[in-house]
Amino acid sequence: MKRKLTIVKVLGPDGHPTAEDLKRWREIFANNLMTDDEAVATGEVTMENVPTHDELVDEQTITFVKVGDENFSPSTDDLFQWREVFEEAAKDPDFKIFTHPAVEISVIKVGKIIAVE
């Protein structure tokens, strides 16, 4: 089964989307009202596909999730919620995460890991 993880960053006014902005975009995608390209063309969202485990079978990688920026510092509860989102994403073959610009996800190739001490 091919897996796809897409990060949809809702830009909102001044880069700070409201809960209503996030809800609106979730509904747009849930109801197939707009394609990915059409959504990006509005200028209201950016999208990035994150490589999944299936795509990286021969690679040793670390997925690095950064939540926050100079204007937003996440709480411990925020970080636990993000962990839950990624655990849910691992179970869904076509998962979209709706978020704001202060979230960055990187897949870092680390080569062969011998030991971690």
- Residue 41 is classified by DSSP as H
| Sole residue written with tokens 């999208």 | 47
- If phi over 0 gives left and psi between -120 and 50 gives alpha, with beta otherwise, what is residue 102? alpha
Q: What is the pLDDT of residue 18?
A: 86
> Does some domain include residue 115?
no
> Does some domain include residue 117?
no
Domain count, the chain: 1
Please state, in angstroms and rounded to a whole number, the distance separating the CA atoms of residues 113 and 73.
Answer: 31
Q: Which residues of the chain have pLDDT under 70?
A: 1-3, 52-59, 111-117
| Sole residue written with tokens 């011998």 | 114
> Does some domain include residue 57?
yes
Does pTM top 0.75 for this prediction?
no
| Pair 110, 60: CB distance under 8 Å | yes
> Does some domain include residue 53?
yes
Q: What is the pLDDT of residue 31?
A: 92
> Does some domain include residue 116?
no
> Does some domain include residue 87?
yes
Q: What is the pLDDT of residue 54?
A: 60
Range(s) of the domain holding residue 86: 4-109
| Sole residue written with tokens 């996030």 | 22
pLDDT digits (tens, 9 = 90+) for 71-93: 888 888 988 888 888 888 777 77
> Does some domain include residue 46?
yes
- Nearest to 61, CA basis, from 69, 53, 49: 53
